[in-house]
Amino acid sequence: MFGEIFYPRQVVLVTAATSEKSNVTAVEWFMPVAQKPPILAISLSNSSLTLDLICTSLEFAVAVPTEKMKEQVLLCGMTSGKFIDKFAETKISTMKAKKISAPLIADAAANLECKVRYYSTQGDYTIVLGEVVEAHFSKSSDEPLLFNKGGKELFGLKKDQL
């Protein structure tokens, strides 16, 4: 897999919802794209339920998980919401967003509410560009954030450990 050369990579959680269903998944293919307005990109497999929900609702949220959420993030990244309710299964606590319908992750270091500006399918993945319309930061944001070493081996890293 060509992406292997880019590890370690930070891992985030992406949530999305329609009136019928809401879901959460792990994403490490993401990047900031612009500052004014703030825009970020995520790349999702075309088979992902999260992608379907985003393309229907044109909204999503990006949550920055901490090391404590490692097991929950792994479960979110190894199962599809097509088969299980990942919120119930992981017991991840959610909170209401201000400007979008997708839930936010209560214990995350940060949550960014996004409205889709553009998406494009490229091969077996679809890149989605979202404008950040609301941002929430946790008070305990000095906790280690979550990274993937590669091979789904996650570890926490604090900024002062760099």
The residues that touch ligand FMN, with contacts defined as CB under 6 A, are 11, 23, 25-29, 43-45, 48-50, 74, 77-82, 148, 152
Least Cβ distance, residue 36 to ligand FMN (angstroms): 25
Report the alpha-carbon distance of residue 75 to residue 9 in Å, rounded: 18
Nearest to 100 by CA among 17, 26, 4: 17
Nearer to ligand FMN, 29 or 119 (CB): 29
Residue 83 CB coordination number (10 Å): 9
CA geometry: angle 5, 11, 141, nearest 5 deg: 135
- 77, two tokens: 């990244």
Report the alpha-carbon distance of residue 40 to residue 80 in Å, rounded: 23
Report the alpha-carbon distance of residue 43 to residue 28 in Å, rounded: 8
Least Cβ distance, residue 141 to ligand FMN (angstroms): 21
- 134, two tokens: 């609301």
Nearer to ligand FMN, 3 or 98 (CB): 3
- Residue with the CB atom nearest ligand FMN in the bound state: 77
Least Cβ distance, residue 73 to ligand FMN (angstroms): 7
Nearer to ligand FMN, 127 or 133 (CB): 127
Nearer to ligand FMN, 71 or 98 (CB): 71
Least Cβ distance, residue 10 to ligand FMN (angstroms): 10
